[in-house]
Structure 1
């Protein structure tokens, strides 16, 4: 009787949620600058079962792996339906969904993934844009249709036992707990490896890849280093994530890849700020996706768009496209909204609006490097509010991973241009408007490639208060219209090797010294129309002489 009542209440709440969803989603597609179909929610058959009917126990001690598998397979045999997880703490190993199955977490329910690492076999998967082998994701669906995870519960990845610890990033109490739990310390005492297996993989790893691991035996020997992603839906059609709190993943929290027709609504993603690779949501080579009304407080990039890495990503050739991000909040994270660095398959037709970033390292972050290839284009961003940004409010970094290259050339030196080819990444046709930022280290940084400038970037009606002004380096056809940059010190605008740059209605506070600095020998057609900038408070180097026109 109790289970029947639970199922009845679920049906009533689901009906109300669907009506609200249909009402709210209509406005999302209005005035989109690109064509995109309306995404429908997955249609789940009207069959509802409860996990306790298959031997499940929410006592926080009993392992429920078998109960989850039996229940999901039962639904699959009936053509699909909803598996309801009632109130309780449900300990389990990996969960894999089938076609037409919805996992629904009731109020006051928590699914906790087991700390027994042997429950997560090594499987073929996709991570950081490439096919590889890693521990099986904790909650997954592969090549499935109409799958959903909904409700008001929590899914916890128990990530603390999996992750590397860095002394300078962790609270002292947490660091001391790690040491007391065993593991291995680096020679300098700054890194904590949870196990010998993790250390064996980490010491030779190149960007999370162990180069000498070729056989299954090799991968098994570094199993603990190959941390599972918490949620991974790959090559799926029709996906819904709604209402759930996803937290404390061993690695990336939510990874959606090579899938289409996806709705992510009203979720929360959180993990410790020191969590290595603790991305919030990674959207890789997906088409037709809505991400709305969600919040993130994570250890790495919060909302990240990707499409494969280097030659493998270019060969795959599947862009991330037709994506809407609306009304989301990002607290801690390396970036609030991020594109890259794995973008070799291309990124296009992205609309981001009505988002708040508070305390993130970077607000809007575009990153790549030589060797990636790929084209990022048709990105539309508007109505973004930021405060207390650690680094840049807006960043284009085409030297990702090479920190020294973020520093612009000193003393009027020009960077060497390489030959452009299919491995050269391109960022173009990007529209940013109505951004307000109160507090950042730097207002903007464009760090483009000399052989392939960041180009066609239109920034309008933005107000940014920062310690430093905007630096634009190796960019073509950048338009700043009605932009206010208020630095605490130094120039408001620094340009190096820019072409066809237009400044109209630019505002800044009264600056002691130069409001504008222009350097480099590759500048061309810089037009400045601003009551705050004139020849009297601008410095143009000898190499850049003749490139600036004041109107």
Structure 2
């Protein structure tokens, strides 16, 4: 017959279990409070991704994040200074060419590097533009249902020297068309949003390429060169004239939660992501 434990020992075990239970409850409560404080207080947080041995930040936002308002709604504020594209006279009707508005916005942000940079919010709408450049310490934020559209006129696309990694050119010798969204020698640039999109309207280019009507190599949709600390997240890239996202000779590039779309057929060389010499 098994003898029951002495009363004193049973009390000790019961007390011990109670202490362990209290300890775990306190630990989970502390963790919950710590996470809540980390996300509250009106500030943003950051998810960190290690790339090439160092850390890059992809900002997240919640309902408590500081926001900026516009006629189109609210945007998370990820930089000290924030602009809306409409502040510079842009019209999102899919017809008006907004190149000047984008250029003026980027120029304004380029003057803010010592203050932590600036954010350009693109509200819902179809924003037609010729190619434009990014600048350092810039966040380009595309709202849901915002679409940046590339003009269908190659004469409005700048010509750049051929890439050193491809000698005299891919499709033609000599200069190549630049990318739709471009950047060189940049630091700390973020292109993100609520799954807004950048549309290269590539059908125009694909038809001309197949008909041998282009005199230069087609350009990528998005290209950054000789840059560092770049983040691409939470947007859609679609119908690129050529390669879609092309980082060239860059350091610490983070690409996450991206959607890249192009037809399976009749969309030549529309690779998704082409890291090059990085």
TM-score (normalizing by structure 2)? 0.69
Tell whether the 8 Å contact from 2:202 to 2:240 is kept in structure 1 after alignment: yes
Q: Hey, what's the Cα distance between the residues in 1 that align with 2:188 and 2:43?
A: 18
**Matching of residues 90-489 of structure 1 within 5 Å:** 90-126=127-163, 129-130=166-167, 132=169, 133-151=175-193, 152-164=195-207, 192-193=210-211, 197-198=213-214, 222-223=215-216, 226-274=217-265, 275-286=267-278
Q: Hey, what's the Cα distance between the residues in 1 that align with 2:91 and 2:54?
A: 40
Q: Hey, what's the Cα distance between the residues in 1 that align with 2:222 and 2:91?
A: 22
Q: Hey, what's the Cα distance between the residues in 1 that align with 2:160 and 2:57?
A: 30
Deviation at 1:233, TM superposition (A): 0.6
Structure 1 gap segments, 5+ residues each:
1-11, 30-35, 165-182, 184-190, 199-221, 287-551
Q: Deviations over 1:290-333 (max 9, x none)?
A: xxxxxxxxxxxxxxxxxxxxxxxxxxxxxxxxxxxxxxxxxxxx
Q: Hey, what's the Cα distance between the residues in 1 that align with 2:210 and 2:275?
A: 30
Q: Hey, what's the Cα distance between the residues in 2 that align with 1:265 and 1:241?
A: 6
Tell whether the 8 Å contact from 1:39 to 1:263 is kept in structure 2 after alignment: no
**Structure 2 counterpart SS, 1:251:** coil
Q: 1:128 to 1:270 in 2, by over 3 A?
A: farther
Instruction: State the Cα RMSD in Å.
Output: 2.5
Tell whether the 8 Å contact from 1:42 to 1:238 is kept in structure 2 after alignment: no
1:47 to 81, 86, 104: 81
Whether 1:87 aligns to 2:124 is: yes
Structure 1 segments, 4+ long, off by >6 Å, are none
Q: Deviations over 1:30-85 (max 9, x none)?
A: xxxxxx52322289741110000001111111101000000000111122211000
Tell whether the 8 Å contact from 1:85 to 1:106 is kept in structure 2 after alignment: yes
Q: Hey, what's the Cα distance between the residues in 1 that align with 2:134 and 2:191?
A: 9
Deviation at 1:129, TM superposition (A): 3.5
1:66 matched residue in structure 2: 100
Deviation at 1:246, TM superposition (A): 0.4
Tell whether the 8 Å contact from 1:93 to 1:119 is kept in structure 2 after alignment: yes
**Structure 2 counterpart SS, 1:163:** helix
Deviation at 1:131, TM superposition (A): 6.0
Q: Hey, what's the Cα distance between the residues in 2 that align with 1:60 and 1:234?
A: 29
**Structure 2 counterpart SS, 1:40:** strand
**Structure 1 counterpart SS, 2:275:** strand
Tell whether the 8 Å contact from 1:241 to 1:265 is kept in structure 2 after alignment: yes
Count of residues paired in the alignment? 210
Deviation at 1:15, TM superposition (A): 5.3
Higher relative contact order (CA 8 A, sep 6+): 2
Q: Deviations over 1:70-102 (max 9, x none)?
A: 000011112221100011110001020011111
TM-score (normalizing by structure 1)? 0.36
